[in-house]
Amino acid sequence: MSAVEVRQLGIRGAYEFTPAVYKDERGSFSSPYQGAAFEEALGKPLFPVKDVSHNLSAAGVLRGIHYTTTPPGRAKYVYSPYGRVRDFLIDLRVGSPTFGRWETTEIGGDNCRSLYVPVGVGHAFLALEDDSMVVYLMSEGYVPANEQALSPLDPELGLPLAGVEFQQSDRDSAAPTLAQSLERGLLPEYEKCLQVEEQLWP
């Protein structure tokens, strides 16, 4: 079993996992998800995976902030096997003790770092290299009507994106701010997120 460095993030319920990476003249080997380390950190195994997806991005592509209407909600386990991205987690759970707080870290093929994203926590990333791939293991399947977006450029959030040249989708560039989403009742409630997350494990 490879060694895994586990870090509990400043967003309640979110974790970062950094496994050992073994390199030689042939290439490298690592295990971005290790059940023993995950269960020790969260007190339970990874949720039953119902969807595995990935995207590929050119350098400068900014995706997110994305989250899922709760209920149904979706928990995510995220890693980048190739390339390098600056990843952001944002607590969008109304009533959470860490509501509005964000965390950023670099994930990529060099460190094989992964992130556990609890239900109701928003996710975004900026690709730092061409052909950067991000893989998602998710607790629920993709339902377009349930997927929401929030502006990563909202000054109230203060993500460190000033002066960065990036490319967004039309949907992401038109996404509402945190205050607008709160006013429209789009953001998930903390207690409902906890209830949904607890029900992920049979």
Q: Which one is catalytic: 15, 67, 77, 136?
A: 136
Amino acid at 107: I
- Cα separation, 6 vs 162, in Å, equals 30
Q: Do 4 and 20 contact (CB within 8 A), yes or no?
A: yes
Q: What sign results for the dihedral spanned by CA atoms 194, 156, 130, 56?
A: positive
Return the pLDDT at 1: 47
Closest by Cα among 70, 73, 66 to 87: 66
Return the pLDDT at 108: 97
Q: Phi-psi category of 161—alpha, beta or left, where left has phi over 0 and alpha has psi -120 to 50?
A: alpha
pTM given for the model: 0.95
Ordered alpha helix ranges (H), the chain: 35-42, 170-173, 178-183, 190-198
Return the pLDDT at 2: 60
- Whether 66 is catalytic is yes
Q: Which one is catalytic: 66, 67, 77, 116?
A: 66
- Cα separation, 42 vs 181, in Å, equals 30
Which domains does the chain possess? 4-198 (2.60.120.10)
β-bridge partners, 147: 68
- From first to last of its 202 residues, the chain has per-residue pLDDT tens of 468 999 999 999 999 999 999 999 999 999 999 999 999 999 999 999 999 999 999 999 999 999 999 999 999 999 999 999 999 999 999 999 999 999 999 999 999 999 999 999 999 999 999 999 999 999 999 999 999 999 999 999 999 998 889 999 999 999 999 999 999 999 999 999 999 999 998 7
What length does the chain have?
Answer: 202
Q: Do 8 and 41 contact (CB within 8 A), yes or no?
A: yes
- Whether 79 is catalytic is no
Q: Do 117 and 64 contact (CB within 8 A), yes or no?
A: no
Return the pLDDT at 3: 87
CA of 82: how far to CAs of 46, 63, 85, 129, in Å?
23, 17, 9, 9
Phi, psi of 161 (to 5 degrees): -120, 0
What Rg do the C-alpha atoms of the chain give, in angstroms?
A: 16
